[in-house]
Amino acid sequence: MAETTYIDAIRDALLEEMERLPTMVVLGEDIQEGGVFRVTDGMLDRFGPGRVLDTPLAESSIVGVAIGMATNGCVPVAEMQFADFAFPAFNQIISEAAKWRYRSNNGWGCPIVVRAPSGGGIRGALYHSQSIEAMLAHVPGLKVVAPATPYDAKGLLKAAIRDPDPVIYLEQKRAYRLLKGEVPAEDFTVPIGEAALRREGDDLTVISYGMMAHECLAAADELAADGIRATVLDLRTLAPLDREAILDAAKRTGKVLIVHEDNLTGGIGGEVAAIIAEHAFDSLDAPIRRLAGLDVPSMPYSAVMEAYFMPSREKIAVAMRELAAY
């Protein structure tokens, strides 16, 4: 199987779905030129300006247009240049797209995909580092995915495009050219709503997603050298959460650490912790712990401060050791 970068896996998924689905279009800022991250590089030449649409710098309009196209039989994939820029589109996403099926009494879906490069650790500072998943996962009617690997990036994007309802696809921008992995050439999807067990161990459970899943795995490797064996669960889909996988992983060890880069308060970790507390209380052997980005207004620009903000392999390892020793 070929080794593919995370960004190539996303582009491959777009190209293959464009070939397969004549009704699919992509739209966003500068995407005819390939977009700032070059995800849509070469698509204009291949599919023409009728299916690869440049838009004004107006995210509300990008998603609004996508919703309109979807209701007229298209399958639009809208690109937010950065997840940070999605906020002007929130009204369209939350009040329109998410409610389309409900509002039409199950008459129509709104099969759009909103791609948004998410997360920091790239010295992107205030406007290029934000995590928006918790705000969107809170909204009924939306599906939110955050693939951690090239394989999942391709499989989840294809699943998102084929989903009859709106899916927020949070690309891990730090992963674009950092991560390589095996991705099959043949057509496949990764089902939305299924977590992936990345590592198994009986001493404690770490639940994470996106880039942080890799930091957790690295920390787990480090601890394994000292005989502390961790189960690591990669959520992959943040809405709807894979409750069964979460509960299985929690029950296995009774000690759970939840890690995400998004800031702590109101984050995905709180929801995961609540699910475990409600449905696996009798299996708990320690208080559920969360390790997350700091509750400060923004990811700082200074490299030192950025490292201070981010959960890292080292911080995760410390938290894991404390939990294992509890």
Q: Which residues bind other proteins (CB under 8 A)?
A: 202-203, 226-227, 253-255, 281-286, 318, 321-322, 324-326
* Minimum CB–partner distance for residue 121 and other proteins (Å): 25
State which residue, 74 or 280, has the beta carbon closest to other proteins: 280
Catalytic residue among 128, 138, 214, 279: 128
Residues 6+ apart with CB under 8 A from 217: 198, 199, 232
* Minimum CB–partner distance for residue 64 and other proteins (Å): 49
State which residue, 147 or 254, has the beta carbon closest to other proteins: 254
State which residue, 235 or 319, has the beta carbon closest to other proteins: 319
* Minimum CB–partner distance for residue 12 and other proteins (Å): 40
159 closest CA partner among 169, 150, 149: 169
Write out the two tokens for 160: 């998102």
* Minimum CB–partner distance for residue 198 and other proteins (Å): 21
Question: DSSP assignment of 252-268, as one string?
Answer: HHS-EEEEEEEESTT-H
Exposure class string for 150-185: b at 16+ Cβ within 10 A, else e: bbbbbbbbbbbbbbebbbbbbbbbbbbeebbbebee
Q: Is 128 a catalytic site residue?
A: yes
State which residue, 185 or 325, has the beta carbon closest to other proteins: 325
Can you state the angle between helices 268-279 and 243-253, rounded to 10 degrees?
70
State which residue, 45 or 282, has the beta carbon closest to other proteins: 282
* Minimum CB–partner distance for residue 314 and other proteins (Å): 12
Alpha carbon distance 268, 210 (integer Å): 12
Question: Running DSSP on this structure, what letter comes out for residue 30?
Answer: T
The residues carrying an active-site annotation are 128
